[in-house]
Amino acid sequence: MSRRTVLQALSLLLALGLLTYFLTQPDEVSHAQTGGFDRSQFANDKPVGDLEAQDELPETGEFNVMIELFDAPTSTVYSEALGKSE
């Protein structure tokens, strides 16, 4: 066999091995997605400050949250940096 044929055979075996590996991996998700959130595992998770006056947080289930970031978004900083570099 020529060297090229050996390399092609090894490449094919590697590709088949990787394909087999990825196809046989279990579909795992995080614990938070599979079961209910157990609030009792955290010692002190009660809201403080302005949040105390709001309704109680639900014990389980989904709820909406909004996260407000202090700094400018990365895309804004990046575009400003590109504009200054010219």
Whether 20 is covered by a domain: the verdict is: yes
pLDDT tens, residue by residue, 23-75: 887 766 555 555 566 666 666 666 666 665 556 666 677 777 788 888 888 88
The span from the CA of 79 to the CA of 86, in Å, is 12
| Residue 16: predicted pLDDT | 94
Residue-range definition of the domain harbouring residue 13: 1-25
Cβ partners under 8 Å of residue 21, min gap 6: none
| Residue 8: predicted pLDDT | 93
Whether 50 is covered by a domain: the verdict is: no
Distances 27 to 17, 20, 50 between C-alpha atoms, Å: 19, 14, 40
Whether 4 is covered by a domain: the verdict is: yes
Token output for 44: 């002190």
Whether 19 is covered by a domain: the verdict is: yes
Whether 51 is covered by a domain: the verdict is: no
Whether 8 is covered by a domain: the verdict is: yes
Q: How many domains is the chain built from? A: 1
| Residue 11: predicted pLDDT | 94
The pTM of the full predicted model, rounded to 2 decimals, is 0.32
| Residue 22: predicted pLDDT | 82
